Amino acid sequence: MSRPVVRDEATGRVGELMFLGEWDDSDARPPRSRRLAFIRPLGGGCEWCTAPECVTELPAYERPDAGGQYCAHRAIGQRDGKTHCRDCAAQIYL
């Protein structure tokens, strides 16, 4: 089952929608539940979260496998001893 390819309109980043719904924040005091969307960069990397209203599913013609725009990881740097793309924050495995 493939996951929807979406754009986070708050940041412009593109990735796979991993979760959309109520998330229990057990670290908050007092614990609380809030509505979030979790998105993983295409090709892997650290997920990020955003408000559900900022998530837009990409039409088929905009998806990377159809020639749509995606991050080519041209600007890489080190963070926490690992290599990451500076543009999309995906971890790069060399």
DSSP class per residue in 9-63: TTT--EEEEEEEEEEEETTSSS-EEEEEEEEEETTS---EEE-GGGEEEPPGGGS
| Least confident span in 15-19, 49-53, 90-94 | 90-94
What are 33-62's pLDDT values in tens digits?
Answer: 989 999 998 878 889 999 999 999 987 766
Question: Using 50, 70 and 90 to split pLDDT, how confident is the model at 81?
Answer: confident
* Cα gap 41→89, rounded to integer Å: 8
- Tell whether pTM > 0.85: no
Kindly report whether the peptide bond that precedes residue 30 is cis, defined as omega within 30 degrees of 0: yes
Mean pLDDT (whole number) for 10-15: 88
User: Higher-confidence residue: 53 or 89?
Assistant: 53
